[in-house]
């Protein structure tokens, strides 16, 4: 068990980096000692807000000089793999933003590099840490709904053209890896897979209906899960004003509907009902505003990463788990492109 405070760094000081820095400020057992961005002003701004850690503009230099234990990777999605591998080579553990990467090859190479170097690789899917998500997962694993029949996710965000124009990597195949599904919907898709298990077959239609971007802004998908259940995903970034993310899970013995972090329906044949309304009707507005992450964000995953390193155990969402949602999204893209059903390996 490592007793000293771990030294934490962040690469990529844009929209999501403060969520990592805030979580670190609350966490026990680590401190933010270095931040890095190719745009010096962005790194300096983050440093000024979070206790003046050292500022770098080159990741390799930060990895050589800052004596880090853990690195948060908060750069554009298609750069994650290279940054994870650079950390692994330097013997530094990694907490990577979603999506883990945007191709299977780059995800596998990053996972492999971390395993080879003996460093831990954790993925960020903060919705798995919401108390209500955990409640649903435990109930499903305990068989409270019986055999699962249908698992669907409605992932309707609103991002205007100005959002896509706000960064030259946004809405590109090369660095965002896709659109409404790979960037925003990936959270709900991860949750759906966590609840329902792996997907066997997908058939998808995806298009760019309203934004001036090369990637999809709207998609519909039909799913067959390994356990035989069916499902639907609707994903978009074009729906004003943005709807709460909704997951509907039906089993032979009942139904659970989760909206953002609220359980709106929990009914089972044996009379069980568990409705959590204490968070009120309004949830954090992330479906409308990417920076409005609300109070239930990265705290649990950051603390878990510190504890995983100190206790020498796997983090809550190891790289192999974080890979799954991206693998499904890539199969969805293939189906939409070819007009054919895709069978996952």
Ligand X SMILES: NC(=O)c1ccc[n+]([C@@H]2O[C@H](COP(=O)([O-])OP(=O)(O)OC[C@H]3O[C@@H](n4cnc5c(N)ncnc54)[C@H](O)[C@@H]3O)[C@@H](O)[C@H]2O)c1
Minimum distance from residue 60 beta carbon to ligand X (Å): 10
Confirm or reject binding of residue 12 to ligand X (CB under 6 A): yes
Stretch that binds ligand X, among 36-44, 133-141, 232-240, 249-257 (CB under 6 A): 36-44
Cβ-based burial of 138 (10 A; exposed 0-12, middle 13-18, buried ≥19): exposed
- Decide whether 267 or 327 has the Cβ nearer to ligand X: 327
DSSP 38-89: SSHHHHHHHHHHTT--EEES-HHHHHHHS--SEEEE-S-GGGHHHHHHHHHH
What is the rounded (10 degree) CA torsion for 245, 251, 254, 257? Answer: 0
Stretch that binds ligand X, among 72-80, 142-150, 253-261, 300-308 (CB under 6 A): 72-80
**Which residues does residue 262 pair with via DSSP β-bridges, in sequence order?**
259
| Residue from 133, 152, 172, 183 binding ligand X (CB under 6 A) | 183
| Residue from 9, 76, 242, 319 binding ligand X (CB under 6 A) | 76
x/- string (CB under 6 A) for ligand X, residues 280-309? Answer: ----------x--x----------------
77 close to 175: Cβ distance less than 8 angstroms: yes
| Residue from 29, 167, 284, 318 binding ligand X (CB under 6 A) | 167
- Say which residues have a Cβ less than 8 Å from residue 212's Cβ, sequence separation at least 6: 161, 164
Rounded-to-integer distance, Cα 257 and Cα 136, Å: 9
Closest residue to ligand X, judged by C-beta, is 14
- Decide whether 287 or 335 has the Cβ nearer to ligand X: 287
- Decide whether 40 or 207 has the Cβ nearer to ligand X: 40
123 close to 321: Cβ distance less than 8 angstroms: yes
| Residue from 32, 36, 148, 316 binding ligand X (CB under 6 A) | 36
- Decide whether 2 or 292 has the Cβ nearer to ligand X: 292
Confirm or reject binding of residue 100 to ligand X (CB under 6 A): no
212 close to 161: Cβ distance less than 8 angstroms: yes
Site for ligand X in 235-274 (CB under 6 A): none
Stretch that binds ligand X, among 7-15, 275-283, 307-315, 327-335 (CB under 6 A): 7-15
Cβ-based burial of 39 (10 A; exposed 0-12, middle 13-18, buried ≥19): exposed
| Residue from 124, 247, 329, 332 binding ligand X (CB under 6 A) | 124
Rounded-to-integer distance, Cα 80 and Cα 117, Å: 17
Nearest to 234 by CA among 125, 136, 156, 298: 156
- Decide whether 97 or 144 has the Cβ nearer to ligand X: 97
Binding site for ligand X (CB under 6 A): 11-16, 36-39, 42, 59, 74-77, 79, 97-98, 124, 126, 167, 183, 290, 293
């Amino acid at each position: 068990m490592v007793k000293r405070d771990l030294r934490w760094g962040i690469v990529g000081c844009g929209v999501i980096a403060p969520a990592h820095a805030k979580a670190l400020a609350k966490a026990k057992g680590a401190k933010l000692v270095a931040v890095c961005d190719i745009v010096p002003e962005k790194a300096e701004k983050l440093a000024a807000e979070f206790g003046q850690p050292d500022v770098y503009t080159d990741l390799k230099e930060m990895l050589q000089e800052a004596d880090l234990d853990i690195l948060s990777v908060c750069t554009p999605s298609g750069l994650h793999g290279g940054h994870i591998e650079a950390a692994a080579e330097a013997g530094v553990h990694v907490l990577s933003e979603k999506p883990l990467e945007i191709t299977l090859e780059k995800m596998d190479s990053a996972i492999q590099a971390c395993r080879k170097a003996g460093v831990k690789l954790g993925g960020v899917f903060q919705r798995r840490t919401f108390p209500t998500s955990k409640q649903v997962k435990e109930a499903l694993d305990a068989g409270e709904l019986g055999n699962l029949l249908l698992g669907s996710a409605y992932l309707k965000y609103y991002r205007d053209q100005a959002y896509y124009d706000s960064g030259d990597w946004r809405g590109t195949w090369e660095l965002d890896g896709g659109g409404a599904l790979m960037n925003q919907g990936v959270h709900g898709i991860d949750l759906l897979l966590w609840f329902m298990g792996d997907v066997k077959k997908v058939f998808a239609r995806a298009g760019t209906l309203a934004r001036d971007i090369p990637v999809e802004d709207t998609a519909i998908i039909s799913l067959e899960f390994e356990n035989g259940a069916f499902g639907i995903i609707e994903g978009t970034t074009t729906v004003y004003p943005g709807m709460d993310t909704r997951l509907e899970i039906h089993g032979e013995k009942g139904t659970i509907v989760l909206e953002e972090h609220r359980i709106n329906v929990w009914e089972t044949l044996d009379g069980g009902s568990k409705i959590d309304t204490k968070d009120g009707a309004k949830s954090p507005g992330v479906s409308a505003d990417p920076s409005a992450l609300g109070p239930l964000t990265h705290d649990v995953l950051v603390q878990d990463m510190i504890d995983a390193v100190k206790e020498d155990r796997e983090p809550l969402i190891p790289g192999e788990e974080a890979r799954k949602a991206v693998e499904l999204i890539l199969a969805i893209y293939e189906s939409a492109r070819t007009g054919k059903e895709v069978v996952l390996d």
